Structure 1
């Protein structure tokens, strides 16, 4: 058939990749995150959308490798000592969340009229949050390595462990007599322990020597193949032992976390992890049975709302009981209040054991999928609606009635250097900063820095801006620096105003605001840098100084031209319009200086 080559259906491959490429940027641009974009893409091309792919189950099983690789990379970041330090979070916080939410959800199911066994399996399946969704959202927010992120990882690890006893519970709750040919329970436990022991032994004594041999061969593709072999082999070993494949990959990552090849392994696995995890989300979206959703929409809607709210209540209560603040508890609740991919495994086992009938399985599977789909939206809305975190100023003195001759706003790297000559001259300098950690660090080095936000008029007044002869704005937020410049010029016109500029465009904005002096933060250091390079290349000292001074003069001339009615890249700068980017062209003759690039480009900083 057209589009099919030697058994490979290129239509499905192109549909999968194209759907993700189109949907994800759109959803991220809308602020909804990539996870929901993948879900929407899967729904669009699946059997209940455009029908470009008829069997999402096959793709889902393959794409589950993305979750396995994700757990392996997480394991690489978890040295054994670090994992041991998280034992309270894993077996305390994680176990408490699973137990409390499981009891609440089981009780809710029984109150809704479900049989106790059905209510238990349905509730415990929903307890197991989606590792893929939670970790993807943490990664996009840059919070994976934060204390909040580490607690989330601990909870997910405990939930991955919980699938093993839950599957055993399904076998125990199955109606009918036990299979006389089934192996005794103690044999299953022994096999699982043997699988773990084998994995630990391989990781401790075989993997590093193997990688040393492969590294000596200088075959990059073989190193990549070896990395995939480790991840998939560990997952297979755990599956054969009756445990979670994801747990096997995580354990393999932990065993290699102190290896000298850790960074190489992470670099080799990361591309596969990203693509397969995206395919997993697409496959989940394709698995949503729209006819079943239309048939049982009332039951599914009630299950999604009821289970999500009940689980959210349990998560919030556990978080507060373990000392989390309200904001942290709400954030954790929005991350974990959904079902996850392990629910599909548990529900399939329940259907095979006769606990679920086909319709019940479909309803609860759709419930989990919808809960996974709405999680990014709920988390985004929660972040927008929650007030900004309160800043603790304990041990920090706020600005009040300061008397300095010079007021410095911002005490980061730039402000620290700029202040040194003033302090050495013996001038009375007042310094304000809105980063409490920076204030604390500065105090340990003998600097007196006050807490204050320079964009607020009352803070400027309390900081002594009305008495200061000079005000130096050294912050790295260009929008805030411009606001402060306008505010100072309006309220304190007699003060000399010096402002750190980000680039040429920002410098033009500051000049228009009436500052006395502005300096692009990288300009002078870049001049000194290029002068040193010229001298090391054999250029005489005087000639190097002349060349640098010529660049500085030409830069000033262009800046003055732009501010006196000239046009830049065909755009009127006096009206504040941003210039149109132009390509950088090479010099036509020795000594010619390349013209300025538009604001924001590398040559214009």
Structure 2
């Protein structure tokens, strides 16, 4: 450790590993998650760390402080759950209540009972067997959600069912830890009263977060967004996320759940896409550190010492949980292919097992050797998760190919192929109105927070952000956009945006507003399919170009614009 900068050596080792691993595994077509797990295995104390005594120079390549790294790495899980919340809304979450409180609750209950009974039959006490059943019933939120995000399957049926189960599992951590505390310490008064009090406190905190958040989040973001500083805006977002996570932690809930609630609050604002774009690099790095910390925890020699029991236990856990999840998914009337993929993907153990078992060990409720063996099994199943994801997808495809009557809804839900509008001033607003009248979906983006707030209040689909950021455009779904229209009146900004969009997504037609003929020619050189000089009726001509560019017949587009021209002459116009 550097005397002035804590964990400097560990940070450098992690960044070197991340810089080497991600490009290599992507070229090999391997999930980065699996790459990070193996890097952790190599640079951890149970990898080349064992050779430090014989080769001291290896000390500079080893991260020995697993606990310290894990604490920092938890931020990756927090930001992962936050970005997942950003992609949802309260209405969408309520629409998933059948999966969350139905299928999810049934999975945790049945899995915990089945695993607990087996643990009891192997000679564990009733309390220890119950704890093992509860913690092994949980799956890995970080691994599963990251793999679903990487493969863009979060909004697929299997992704939605997996997410519903995981969300209930995160909620279940509260009563599980409460049970451990009650079992390990004498509780004054009624046990039922204590349970009601703990659950009531948790619900009160969640309610307060929603009520207060709905009042302060949008005005606060509008205020900091008005400064024009991305750094200030990002700092404000991180502050709100961590503050919400800390509040839920104080109430006995997981910090990840608090971050998810913060994401739900931000999802209802016009800033969601800009926030998702800005936070992506932090989330990716911290999640990589989390996966490395999991890899560092695997002791290969310990696995080898009891390889037979470890393999049997891993195989037994995967088969038992997979069978339970598949059966319950079918009871909840999910298609066979979705049930199979969900069951295979969710059959591993999860990171919350570390938390539960650590709490139980602190109360001396478990035999330390048995607890370490269970953690070993959990880590091995987590290592297998990327392979389970592949196996689940293949199983789902095989079932669909065999049974023609199964649901074909396996692609992510889409809202058509929208037109993305960069800039929502006079021209952008007119274009949006015309697209609305023709029932063509659009998403607009503008960097003026007051304008965005005002237009969203009138029902416009406009979000706050900088249209020149490729990451932000990616979050808006530009790869499947039918067209991109920039209506910016500042020449330099328009050229920069067009160049960025054309370089990343050359298949997306770009229509641009230009100052004059010379500017239009320059924009076409940058990649615009057409650029309309801002002369007489420039706005209407741009509208016609967009309509024809997304597939409207020329005559139909011209008729639509002529009708709009007549309305403008009669009405106020511009």
Q: TM-score band, normalised by the shorter chain? A: 0.5 to 0.7
Of stretches 309-318 and 15-24 in structure 1, the one that deviates more from structure 2 is 15-24
Q: Which residue of 1 aligns with 2:88?
A: 78
How many residue pairs get matched? 405
SS in structure 2 of the partner of residue 54 of structure 1: coil
C-alpha deviation, 1:108, in angstroms: 2.1
2:238 to 228, 240, 246: 228
Does residue 1:120 correspond to 2:130, yes or no?
A: yes
Q: Which residue of 1 aligns with 2:39?
A: 41
Q: Aligned equivalents of 1:194 and 1:75: distance in 2?
A: 20
Q: Which residue of 1 aligns with 2:119?
A: 109
C-alpha deviation, 1:30, in angstroms: 4.4
Q: Which residue of 1 aligns with 2:98?
A: 88
Q: Aligned equivalents of 1:86 and 1:202: distance in 2?
A: 24
Q: Which residue of 2 aligns with 1:211?
A: 221
Does residue 1:172 correspond to 2:178, yes or no?
A: no
Does residue 1:12 correspond to 2:23, yes or no?
A: no
Q: Which residue of 1 aligns with 2:457?
A: none
Structure whose CA Rg is larger: 1
TM-score scaled by structure 2? 0.65
Map 1:469-508 → 2, pairs under 5 A? none
C-alpha deviation, 1:214, in angstroms: 0.8
SS in structure 2 of the partner of residue 113 of structure 1: coil
Q: Aligned equivalents of 2:205 and 2:144: distance in 1?
A: 28
Q: 1:187 to 1:319 in 2, by over 3 A?
A: closer
C-alpha deviation, 1:347, in angstroms: 0.7
Q: Deviations over 1:161-191 (max 9, x none)?
A: 01111111112333x64479x9955553443
1:278 to 246, 271, 288: 288
Q: 1:203 to 1:11 in 2, by over 3 A?
A: same
Q: Which residue of 1 aligns with 2:68?
A: 58
C-alpha deviation, 1:384, in angstroms: 4.6
Of stretches 5-14 and 265-274 in structure 1, the one that deviates more from structure 2 is 5-14
Q: Deviations over 1:419-473 (max 9, x none)?
A: xxxxxxxxxxxxxxxxxxxxxxxxxxxxxxxxxxxxxxxxxxxxxxxxxxxxxxx
Does residue 1:153 correspond to 2:163, yes or no?
A: yes
Q: Aligned equivalents of 2:307 and 2:361: distance in 1?
A: 21
Q: Is the Cα–Cα contact under 8 Å of residues 312 and 333 in structure 1 kept in the other structure?
A: yes
Over the aligned positions, Cα root-mean-square deviation in angstroms equals 3.2
Query: Which has the larger helix fraction?
Result: 2
TM-score scaled by structure 1? 0.62
Q: 1:334 to 1:26 in 2, by over 3 A?
A: farther
C-alpha deviation, 1:143, in angstroms: 0.7
Does residue 1:332 correspond to 2:342, yes or no?
A: yes
Q: Which residue of 2 aligns with 1:389?
A: 400
Q: 1:27 to 1:105 in 2, by over 3 A?
A: farther
Unmatched runs of 5 consecutive residues or more in structure 2: 50-61, 406-416, 418-505, 521-574
Q: Aligned equivalents of 2:91 and 2:199: distance in 1?
A: 26
Q: Which residue of 2 aligns with 1:68?
A: 78
Q: Is the Cα–Cα contact under 8 Å of residues 73 and 253 in structure 1 kept in the other structure?
A: yes
Q: Deviations over 1:483-512 (max 9, x none)?
A: xxxxxxxxxxxxxxxxxxxxxxxxxxxxxx
Q: Aligned equivalents of 2:349 and 2:340: distance in 1?
A: 17
Q: Aligned equivalents of 1:393 and 1:197: distance in 2?
A: 45
Q: Which residue of 2 aligns with 1:342?
A: 352
Q: Which residue of 1 aligns with 2:319?
A: 309
